[in-house]
């Protein structure tokens, strides 16, 4: 198979996978939207929950029944916040995610998409990997599809290793910052302890 034939095959497969790639990007976007919606109003809900617990403790354990109105008010406020969060933010985001997932499933179940998958490694049958395979062949870095598969797999492995290394570096930097803060706090504590004992 010539380079031009390989490029033509990869280009045809890219065209077949493009709608599914767009649908998958929408699924990811809607998932992020749902994650953000789930975190909205968590602060006010936590505050009202804490106040409810304080009211409950005061009312039931210390027998201060005149605070029942405050307890019921905070309970109603918390319930209202939870309902508002669900109906305004979470429910629409869940529906949008379900719609995006249904569109993605519809795109991947198209006969042309399924037919394009025949005889091609499923691992690389997505728009982004096909684009990278196309570039590897077009740039002359690989002359056959198996070479391109191996090269792409190696690139993906290295990218994963780089990402893991970046995460480890970020963790080490965070630990170093925490250590500096702890060291400063220890110095301040030692100085204060010295001053207290010096004054005695």
Q: Are 48 and 78 in contact (CB under 8 A)?
A: yes
Output the pLDDT for position 37.
96
The phi, psi pair for 55, rounded to 5°, reads: -60, -45
Output the pLDDT for position 189.
84
Domain ranges of the chain: 3-119, 144-200
Q: Is 79 helix (H, G, I), strand (E, B) or coil?
A: helix
Helices (H), 85-126: 91-108, 111-117
Q: Are 152 and 136 in contact (CB under 8 A)?
A: yes
Output the pLDDT for position 66.
77
- Dihedral of alpha carbons 72, 78, 84, 86, sign: negative
The phi, psi pair for 143, rounded to 5°, reads: -105, -15
Distance CA 142, CA 9 (A): 15
Instruction: For residue 21, give both structure tokens.
Output: 């790639």
Output the pLDDT for position 168.
92
| Ordered mean pLDDT values, 10 residues apiece, the chain (200 residues) | 90 94 96 96 92 84 77 91 96 97 96 92 93 94 93 94 92 89 84 78
Q: Are 34 and 93 in contact (CB under 8 A)?
A: yes
Which helix (H) or strand (E) is 48 found in, with range?
Answer: helix 42-56
Output the pLDDT for position 180.
87
Q: Is 118 helix (H, G, I), strand (E, B) or coil?
A: coil
Output the pLDDT for position 62.
74
Q: Are 152 and 126 in contact (CB under 8 A)?
A: no
The phi, psi pair for 73, rounded to 5°, reads: -65, -45
Output the pLDDT for position 184.
84
């Amino acid at each position: 198979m010539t380079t031009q034939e390989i490029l033509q095959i990869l280009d045809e497969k890219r065209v077949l996978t493009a709608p599914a790639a767009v649908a998958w990007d929408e699924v990811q976007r809607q998932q992020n939207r749902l994650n953000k919606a789930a975190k909205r109003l968590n602060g006010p809900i936590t505050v009202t929950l804490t106040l409810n617990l304080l009211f409950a403790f005061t009312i039931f354990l210390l027998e201060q029944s005149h605070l029942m109105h405050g307890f019921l008010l905070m309970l109603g406020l918390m319930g209202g916040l939870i309902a508002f969060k669900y109906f305004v933010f979470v429910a629409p985001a869940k529906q949008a995610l379900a719609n995006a997932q249904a569109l993605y499933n519809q795109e991947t179940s198209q006969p042309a998409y399924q037919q394009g998958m025949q005889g091609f490694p499923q691992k690389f049958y997505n728009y982004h990997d096909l684009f990278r395979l196309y570039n590897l062949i077009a740039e002359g870095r690989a002359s056959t599809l198996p070479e391109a598969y191996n090269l792409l797999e190696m690139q993906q492995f290295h990218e994963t290793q780089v990402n893991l290394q970046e995460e480890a570096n970020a963790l080490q930097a965070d630990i170093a910052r925490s250590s500096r803060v702890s060291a400063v706090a220890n110095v301040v504590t030692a100085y204060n302890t010295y001053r207290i004992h010096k004054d005695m």
